[in-house]
Structure 1
Amino acid sequence: MTRFPHDQFAKDYLKELLTPLGQVQTSRNIAGEVREIDVWFTPSSTLTSEAQALGLLGRFATTPSIFEPFRNAVTSSQVRSCISKLFDVHADIERQAKRENTRLNESELPKLWILTPTASPLLLDEFRAINDRESWLPGVYFLGEGLKTAIVAIHQLPRTPETLWLRILGKGKVQKQAINELTALPEDNPLRINALELLYSLRVTLEANQNLDSEDRELIMELSPLYLERLDAAVQSGVELGIEQGIEQGIQQGIQRGIQQGIQRGIQQGERLVVENMLRVRFGVLDDELRSIIEPLLELPPEEFTQLLMQLSRNELLDGFRR
């Protein structure tokens, strides 16, 4: 029951981190039977400062890549399924090059990075997955070169800043430690801000689920203080802005009435900030269409509009609230 919120979080998270480096597509359909690739990434340039800031994840992103993140330990069947999708993608790219009569280099074919919270020695041995310790960190295991596939065992990655952005996708103690490291980063760090917003959204989604396992309950508890601080900050910012505006009006209408109006306006402004941030996190941009439904959303109680923002798609939100 709880797999899907974590899947969506992983897709949104990787998309948020990788977008500055190139083109990112999530849930992309592939030819043949209906199947989806979780995250398809195409770099826009060579290694940049943004890629370096992502450490090991940025190093993965120096070439065309397919990312398949798993919440639970990947199975042999799931590894084979991922490789099958990769080969379908390769075949599609090769057919397109043939139709266009263009030469295709091996380096243009995407690599597959299977991100799993844990990987047993038995599974790694089944696929002859090997860690090249001279060139890569522990936890990164490569299959045969022609397969263009690696299994990343997140629990084996060293606890260093270089692996932080991958360990956020871990589980249990590994994820908890990574979240603590994330919150310790400077508050103006844009990667920190974006990652925390996505974690807050994950918390809201999990909290709405009635069938939580112990790890998800612990994750909610871990994120709750940070989430409440975020809401308090948004409301406080709105209150302060509202009081300033209310006092200016209160010069003419009376200080007391102005302060009361300012506080009310501040609460509304705080809720508006929460809605705007959640729309940005869900859909990547706050365009005119999404702005047009903010007022109708704010007419609902906070717990109701929060649940709708996390559960409905863009089209469902636009169709429902335009009416």
Structure 2
Amino acid sequence: MTRQPHDQFAKEYLEELLTSLGKVETSKDVKSEVREIDVWFVPNTSSSNTSELGLLAKMAATSCLFEPFRNAPSEVEIRSCLLKLYTVHGDLLRQAKRSLSEGELPCLWILTPSCSSRMLNGFEAKIQESENWVEGVYFLPELLKGAIVAINQLPVVEDTLWLRVLGKGRTQKQAVEELVQLSEGSYKWDQLLEILASWRKNIEVKDNVNDEDRELIMNLSPAYLKQREEWRQEGLQEGRQEGEVTLLLRLLRRRFGEIAPDLEQRITSLSIPQLETLVDAQLDFSNLDDLVTWLSAQS
């Protein structure tokens, strides 16, 4: 349960970044008793400019699984990630109409805010200096096809920014501040800020906020405040009610896809207090049926 809020954010965040590079699937089911894969990625066959994504793009050069953790995983959790990988390998080999080479089988990236020396030594995970991988990226023995990324050990450079946002404490706080500054000169990263802002809002409104949640709220505050100001400015430009409707429809479309015209009309007819309430209420919706139920209760 402790991974769920971070899981949802990390999936949306990585999907937004990786979509330009290839096919991304989140919460992909695998057979047997293994749980779902957090993020499954297959790169495009055509080459593209990946320099903006730095280290993340280098990791996504081949098909791979991303397993992000909010807290450092245990030995059992790391082995569980490896089990998912090998289950995928088995499925691909069974489905293939020809033999697959090692290079065609996906690899595994375990993203953790930190990793102890004991854990790294136990899995014989080491830095590959020969291929210019930076500090913090530790590869398991070659034939295991996996690596552990200790985010707090990554160098503080723009190439690692997108991974450092998934860290904790000062590492994450600094990365979010860098992302906010980067977005000042380009609207390209606004969607990432919206994802970060939504994550903060989701954490803030939940019951029993603990110390770790409060730290996370503080880390995400720069992104939230910038996004809130942009929403406010949109509201001033379009009129307060129109601004609230625009914001709400954007949030709903990002979560559930296109909204039917009749639902959109019902939302447009809501009062400003109702719209403000719905902005918070939609965070708890699982699907559009929950939206219909909420709207019916306002009649």
Distance 1:270-1:6 versus aligned 2 partners, 3 A rule: same
Q: For the pair shown, which has the larger CA radius of gyration, 1 or 2?
A: 1
Moved more, 209-218 or 7-16: 209-218
Change (3 A) 1:215 1:85: same
Q: Equivalent residue for 2:263?
A: 293
TM-score (norm 2): 0.89
Contact (CA 8 Å) 1:29, 1:35: kept in 2 or not?
yes
Q: Which amino acid aligns with 2:251?
A: M
User: CA–CA distance in 2 between the matches of 1:153 and 1:229?
Assistant: 29
| Cα pair 1:293 1:321 within 8 Å, conserved | no
Q: Mapping of 1:225-244 within 5 angstroms?
A: 226-241=223-238
Structure 2 residue aligned with 1:212: 209
Q: 1:107 aligns with which of 82, 103, 109?
A: 103
Equivalent residue number for residue 198 of structure 1 = 195
Match of 2:19, SS? helix
| 1:185 match | 182
Shift in CA distance, 16/236, structure 1 to aligned 2, threshold 3 Å? same
Query: Pairwise CA RMSD of aligned residues?
Result: 2.2
* Unpaired stretches in structure 1, ≥5 consecutive residues: 242-265
Structure 1 segment 73-84 matched on structure 2, within 5 A: 73-84=72-83
Distance 1:126 1:30 in 2: 27
Amino acid corresponding to residue 107 of structure 1 in structure 2:
G
Whether contact under 8 Å (1:71, 1:171) holds in the other structure is: yes
Is 2:88 the partner of 1:89? yes
Counterpart of 2:164 (choices 160, 164, 167) is 167
Where structure 2 has 5 or more consecutive residues not aligned to the other structure, the ranges are none
**Matched residue pairs, number?**
292
Structure 1 pair 63/302, CA: closer, same or farther in 2 (3 Å)? same
State the AA in 2 paired with 1:150: A
Q: What does residue 12 of structure 2 align with?
A: 12
Residue matched to 2:243: 270
**Structure 1 residue 93: Cα displacement:** 0.4
Is the 1:39–1:68 contact (alpha carbons within 8 Å) kept by the matching residues of 2? Answer: yes
Q: Deviations over 1:25-76 (max 9, x none)?
A: 1111101125100000011135421x22111001111100100000001111
Partner of 2:135: 138
Quick one: which amino acid aligns to residue 282 of structure 1? R
Equivalent in the alignment of 1:310: 283
How far off its partner does 1:7 sit? 1.2
Distance in 1 of aligned mates of 2:109 and 2:163 = 12
Distance of 1:3 and 1:301 partners within structure 2? 32
Counterpart position of 1:66:
65
Q: In 1, distance between residues paired with 2:218 and 2:275?
A: 20
What is aligned with 1:119?
115
Measure, in 1, the Cα distance between the counterparts of 2:15 and 2:29: 16
Task: Spell out, residue by residue over 1:283-306, the C-alpha distance to the aligned partner (whole angstroms, 9 max, x if none).
Answer: 4x5x253x6434434536345312
**Contact 1:198-1:281 within 8 A present in 2 as well:** no
Cα drift, residue 182 of structure 1: 0.5
Q: Is the 8 A contact 1:13 1:195 kept in 2?
A: yes
C-alpha displacement at 1:231, in angstroms?
3.0
**Please, which of 156, 173, 176 is the counterpart of residue 173 of structure 2?**
176
